[in-house]
Structure 1
Amino acid sequence: FRDCHRRARQMANALTSLGVKPSDRIGTLAWNGYRHLELYYGVSGMGAVLHTINPRLHEDQVAYIANHAEDQFIFFDLTFLPLIKAIAGRCETVKAFIAMTDHAHMPKDAGIDNLLCYEDVIEQCSSDYSWPVLDEDAASTLCYTSGTTGNPKGALYSHRSSMLHTYAAALPDALNCSARDVILPVVPMFHVNAWGLPYIACMVGAKLVFPGPALDGKSLYDLLEAEQVTLSAGVPTVWQGLLGHVEETGQPFSSMRRTIIGGAACTPAMLRKFQETYGVSVLHAWGMTELSPIGTVGTMKARHIGMSQEERDAVQSKQGRVVFGVDMKIVGADGIELPWDGKTSGDLLVRGPSVVRDYFRNEGDSPLRLDDEGQAWFPTGDVATIDADGFMQITDRSKDV
């Protein structure tokens, strides 16, 4: 973290020398790695806006997003050089593309006129930089949704919303992170800030381990063991590969004790395999780009501890309880709130300081829905039940989404 702080200050100086001004958007097309973390803090810390772009989108959408955000520079890992070549001529506001590598590994004859080297850019800059005092409501990061019809929509996060989200997500009944953890975010840093883990780990002082592009079962297992990771987070498809590897090799997990699963429902078979076979607790979670992104985490209450295994599995299969700061309710077609009985399903609405109010550049109508009391709620597009303990379970998607 000391090195990260020093290099983030160098990056802030570098961006200033390149003419970057407060609120300018700076794009990234990058895996989970230390240079990406330096940009998280160097870009947002100087008052500019870090815009993490999902490289898995079609090149037309990537070009659209870069233009819509009016990115001034785009940093990229060499893996994505073909994508940069495909979009470089179509990015109207980008002044230069910066390869996240050192001079020795710069691509030869890349065919991109305005190509810079990351290490060359920061090496010539001093680490003597005083962070500006920023308005807490100023924008810090920008992330576009990928699960919508039509063009992706931008969710713009403020320093305040990200800070509150970080506090809430780190709490014991949420992700329960501390300086005693070693955290490996498999969930990409280009996907809603890796669920906030780069901020959480820095806040609590946890060791942070980055997998880069190597997300196969063997590579992840070797990294988990080598760095003695205690907590990891990702989507079910990644964990299928990891579980397949440990089953095939007969190797146990020597340090990992918890895994956060989101993005899709965790199957009962995966839940049992992690917990009963390998002694790794599963935290089911749910969220959205528009929620910064964590909305609920499936941490059980005291009364669940004495339940049978089958009953506890049923609780854990739900998406969980809201994290601090998020309000949640389900409503019928008439907008009337429905009971929390674990059976009645309705449209899921949320609100809170880390929930989006408008999409970036205010294109189209506000996504928020007013209730009879004039309170604004964000319609998630999910249909869900909520039980008497506040545990939410997704059952469907709204027909109009």
Structure 2
Amino acid sequence: MIASPRSAAFFPAHGSGCPSRRPHRVDAMIALAGLLGGVALWSAGLHTQGGRVLPGAWVLLPLAVMAGVELLRRTAPGTALAVGTLALVADQLTTGSLATVVMFTDVMYAAVLYGTPAAARRIPWTTGAITVAVTIGFVAWLRVPDALLIGVVTALISFFPASTGVLVRNHRDAAESARLRAEQTALLAEMDRTQAVAAERTRMARDLHDMVANHLSAIAIHSTAALSLDDERTTRDALGVIRENSVEGLAEMRRLIGLLRERDESGTVSAAPTLRALDSLVEQARTNGASSGLRFALDDRRGEGVALPTPIDLAAYRIIQESLTNALKHAVPGTTTVGLDGSERALTVEVRSPFGDRPGPRVPGSGAGLIGMRERVELLDGEFEAGPVTAADGGKIWLVRAELPVVEGRESA
């Protein structure tokens, strides 16, 4: 996952192999404010302790060093903490400056916030152990209750800043993780949307082909016959078939548009064709193929009262529709038989058409129909085959066979 530049600006990388060595503007302002504040306290004669080994202006040396390490709090937090600890120890040998102590707490906080994950885990435990050891040691040495205050001060300048750094770092990491998850979710949603659009386009292509190809094929065949034969009756019959298929094609297109819109103007869902309309489909094929010597027969061996799931019913209808269209395009004169057989487990569709060299007008095929039929069957986890086979009488036929599992079949009431 690629982090956005915006997130990098608000959440600087920690533990990076190539950190920027240029001091951050905020760090420079903290260093300058701490240095000027310490100098002002020294000028006013305000100190944290007295009677030390190095009196006077020596207090400014640890102050300057601590201000310098503030410049490294973000770019080199480990180095800043080590040098800052030495500066704090040196400050104890002078009259002491409150500004030095305050800047050390910020360096401790920054070491946890901007340091490596290992340092962020180790520093709070280390400062906690040091606080406990200092408290126990001074109580045992001084043997007065006031020695507990030394432990409290130690916790205030080490353990508490480190613990605060851990809390802030955890919240920052949680926010970054949430942002990455949101980006990943958005990416997955976009991928799902793209796949859904592609699947819908494929489905639309299959439906367009199955709905329109049958009628356009009949129109093409009969218009070719009308143009090639100079016979008034043949021309009138061909024009009648062309008009009938044009009207049916428009109706199919309106049905498809209704399906895409989900609901028609009356508010009802547009109905998809089912096997109940199979008689009309075969009868239409008889009309379209009569002039070419093609005959069509229906052999429905299904049991009574078996209700098919809608996807199975629609797929079977479309497979038969496309097979009849292919027969009108390519079959030689003879009988094309549509066979249906099924049970509660599966529905078997078989379309057998005469195969050979066909005389007269033909419509070239693109192979999209076979691809669409195969895709329909595969989507339903069925089996599909299509191709020339040898019939029982030794002749050649073109067989289309699809077996569709009826996983949701049930007996109608």
TM-score, length-scaled by structure 1: 0.21
Which structure has the higher relative contact order (CA within 8 Å, separation 6+)?
A: 1
Higher strand residue share? 1
TM-score, length-scaled by structure 2: 0.21
In terms of Rg, which structure is larger? 2
Higher helix residue share? 2
